[in-house]
Amino acid sequence: MRLFKKRLPFSKHLRIDPPAPRPNRHGVAIVTMLKDEESYIDEWLAFHQAVGIRHFIIYDDGSTDGTASIIKARLSDAELTLVPWAGRMIDMSDGQQFNSQVVAFAHAILNFGAAFRWMALIDVDEFLLPKLGNTVEEALKGTGGFPNVSLPWHMFGTSGHKAKPDGGILRNFVQRATDPISRKKNATNFKCVVDPCEVTEVSVHQFETRQYGEMTCNDVGKVFTRKQRKTPDFYASQNLQLNHYYTKSLEEFEEKIRRGPVSPATRDAHQHRLRTALESIDSDVVEDRQIIDFIDENDIQL
């Protein structure tokens, strides 16, 4: 058994009072936190513009490259809220470090959530692919309006690329783990799309809502407990699929490891988690070109 140093205390869940909805609230907002993503951020923005995202709420964790300039060039003022979000916060009473992404998600829900019907809280290596209709909002109709939607990671690996290929992510990386709901370690997780005016608990991968507590649904509206969503019965990608481009090329994956963890996890534990996930992905892959077909069928320019 491999042993690691004990993690520092880390606060990953926040309780909030949800905002009151505005009478005219509508559309889908994406909330994300990023740092130094100039290589791929324009593709991510352009794709999500094309699938009907009304607004992007972006927390910039101290980028020093051209990320902010690319974002501002791509999005209009009406489409963008860009928030400086560098630094870490520690509770002086008990030494717990707050997860900056969780704090950002809570801040977004409380300060901007009242204006939107839905918020998707995802990373910039994750893409929301509509399968019902041509927009994320149309796809979400398949949930029946349930306020807490969990989308399992469809984990894409290196697709055989040792070095960073020319071009973007979507056309270069087409091989993913066959089973999104896997028993293999570090191979399964979720991101959520929520009704921000119902959220009472915020985390990175799970939420609670006022009426339904921890209950969550899949993209076809079947409701499960938080624990039950990790069972095969939960899996569906009929209306909306979340593609997670976890590694990109092997060269980029090694650089991801060298950068180290954002959380207080030790460097060894961080490296072990990433390498275990890549091993899980590459052990059983399937080609998935659905997002490319969607781009071509809808003549999306990336």
Tell me how far apart the alpha carbons of residues 253 and 116 are, in angstroms, rounded to a whole number.
35
Domain locations in the chain?
Answer: 10-296
For residue 12, give both structure tokens: 């990953």
Q: What is the pLDDT of residues 84-107, one digit of tens each?
A: 999 888 888 877 888 899 999 999
3-class SS at 212? Answer: coil
Q: What is the pLDDT of residues 242-252, one digit of tens each?
A: 999 999 999 99
CATH of 10-296, one of 1.10.1750, 3.40.50, 1.10.8, 3.90.550: 3.90.550
Instruction: State the burial class of residue 240 (Cβ atoms within 10 Å of its Cβ: 0-12, 13-18, 19+).
Output: buried
Tell me how far apart the alpha carbons of residues 213 and 70 are, in angstroms, rounded to a whole number.
39
Tell me how far apart the alpha carbons of residues 155 and 126 are, in angstroms, rounded to a whole number.
9
Using the predicted structure, report yes or no on whether residue 7 has a pLDDT greater than 60.
Answer: no
For residue 218, what pLDDT band results from cuts at 50, 70 and 90? very high
- pTM of the model as a whole: 0.94
Which amino acid belongs to residue 68? Answer: A
For residue 8, give both structure tokens: 């520092």
H/E element, 177? strand 175-177
Pairing of strands 80-84, 118-121: unpaired
Tell me how far apart the alpha carbons of residues 139 and 240 are, in angstroms, rounded to a whole number.
6
Could you tell me how many residues make up the chain? 302
Residue 215, φ and ψ in degrees, nearest 5: -60, 140
For residue 264, what pLDDT band results from cuts at 50, 70 and 90? low
